[in-house]
Amino acid sequence: MTYRHYFTHLDCSATGERYEKDRPQNLSAAGKPLLARYDLQKAKAEIDRDEIWARTGGFWKWRELLPVAREEDVLRLGEIDTPLIDIPVAAKSAGATGRVIVKDESRLPTASFKARGLALGVSMAKSFGLKRLAMPTAGNAGAAMSAYARRGGMEAYVFCPEDAPEVNVQETCLQGGKVFRVNGLIHHCGALVGAGKEAMGWFDLSTLKEPYRAEGKKTMGMELAAQLGWRLPQAIFYPTGGGTGLIGMWKAFDEMEELGWIGPDRPKMFAVQSTGCAPIVKAFNEGADHAEEWMDADTMAAGMRVPKAVADFLILRAVRESGGAALAVTDEHIERCWHRIGAEDGLLVGPEGAATYAAMEMAIADGLIEADADVVLYNCGSGLKYAMPDTSRTLDRHKDIDWNSL
């Protein structure tokens, strides 16, 4: 299939300064993320949303609104449209009377939403002829980068906190990544990527330090709108570390409106963090545009343990423009909700996904959303990647069994 291409340039998210798209880019001269821009008026006249939605191929179906031009640069590992799964019993337990849906990103390659961003980031790296990539990771991103990098014949160097989930470390190694455990947090790992850039000659694929991971993540918003009949829910709860997905979806909503695919209505966007690492929440509550580094970050939800986000101002801007909020939930609340969703609706989410449910429960109780609101919760990774509770009991087959006691 031949795709039309509408990607025109990049611009600085802070100053609007224009940057060319034909060479690798990291941050702007102002030290801020670059965002991809498209000729949307031309696209509006030439492409049809329903025709695009009818295609197969998961998030690659949106090629006209993605930056990869050549088919030979597109890296695929069996991408799909991730399902929307109702959780009616757990919703009722949270006090919700409207429809509560989990968008389950764990069905993607490498079992997390990181596949969206890294597929785009690595495919663009391939298009530029890059051979060596590096990034810090809390877990899932490293696996996704390694998988797509090896698919594209590139080296992947991954730096993770020494207490990153063991399964993430192992899967990254198994998918060809060169993994280094660091005695620190993810921003310390990021500093090492920067420090080694000149000596090692790698390209830094850190969250929002290059323009294209956000483009992959924006497909979550496009896909959601299409799945809901080209409308958006009243609220979206999103687990927030680096915030690429929230930023990408907010960008996608604007692009879709300009294309005439959706109207002006927007969901309230809720950035969800743990009380053990809540820099965005603190900045939101203080009315600040930037978040201070969170010291001694500690949470069971590894994907949200990001003490300092380079695009903090973009996260805060999207949350405020939407009329949403940044909310922090305790690890104890996350764990209770993790158990509840599994036990009541049979859906195994990750701790980050459980955090969005906990935040929704809080938002309903505090009147931030109506109980009858239509809500989408993003489960960003597989619960199988975390140590799970064991509530099993033992039976001695050689003894009489009191069946009523079971």
Instruction: Provide DSSP, 327-368.
Output: EEE-HHHHHHHHHHHHHHH---B-HHHHHHHHHHHHHHHTTS
Amino acid identity, residue 273? Q
Contact indicator for 56, 80 with CB cutoff of 8 Å: no
d(CA 297, CA 241): 12
pLDDT at 318: 97
The pLDDT of residue 138 is: 86
Instruction: With cut-offs at 50, 70 and 90, classify the pLDDT of residue 2.
Output: confident
Contact 115, 109 (CB under 8 A): yes
What residue ranges define each of the domains in the chain, with the CATH number in brackets?
Answer: 84-109+214-385 (3.40.50.1100)
- Confidence band for 82, pLDDT divided at 50, 70 and 90: very high
Structure tokens at 259: 């294309």
The whole-angstrom separation of Cα 35 and Cα 16 is 9
DSSP state of 280: H
Number of separate helices (H) and strands (E) present in the chain: 14, 13
Sheet containing 178-182, strands listed edge to edge, beginning at the edge strand earlier in sequence:
178-182, 155-161, 132-136, 203-204
Rounded Cα distance, 191 and 178, in Å: 17
Higher pLDDT, 185 or 40: 40
DSSP string, 18-83: EE-SSS---S-TTS--EEEEE-HHHHHHH--HHHHHT--SGGGGGGGGSS---GGG---S---PPP
pLDDT value of residue 369: 98
Does the pLDDT of residue 387 top 90, yes or no? no
Q: Higher-confidence residue: 2 or 210?
A: 210
Record the pTM.
0.95
Please provide the average confidence, as pLDDT, over all residues in the chain.
96
Which amino acid makes up residue 360? M
Confidence band (pLDDT; 50, 70, 90) for 390? confident
Predicted confidence (pLDDT) at residue 1 exceeds the cutoff of 90: no
* The pLDDT of residue 302: 87
pLDDT of residue 389: 78
Residues contacting residue 391 through CB under 8 Å, at least 6 positions apart: none
Query: Which residue reads 């690890």 in tokens?
Result: 331
- The span from the CA of 290 to the CA of 280, in Å, is 8
- Of 37-51, 294-308, 367-381, give the lowest mean pLDDT range: 294-308
Determine the average pLDDT of the residues in 293-316. 93
Cα 153 versus chain centre, distance:
25
* Nearest Cα to Cα of residue 212 among 37, 1, 387: 37
> What mean pLDDT do residues 263-270 have?
98
Give the SS3 label for residue 136.
strand
Q: Facing residues of 236 across strands?
A: 269, 376
pLDDT reported for residue 322? 98
Average pLDDT over residues 155-174: 94
- Predicted confidence (pLDDT) per residue in 183-235, tens digit: 998 999 999 999 999 999 999 999 889 999 999 999 999 999 999 999 999 99
Per-residue tokens: 368: 């931030």
Q: Rounded to an integer, what distance in angstroms lies between the CA atom of residue 343 and that of residue 348?
A: 9
Report the alpha-carbon distance of residue 256 to residue 265 in Å, rounded: 11
Place of tokens 């025109």: 8
3-15 mean pLDDT = 96
pLDDT at residue 165 tops 90: no
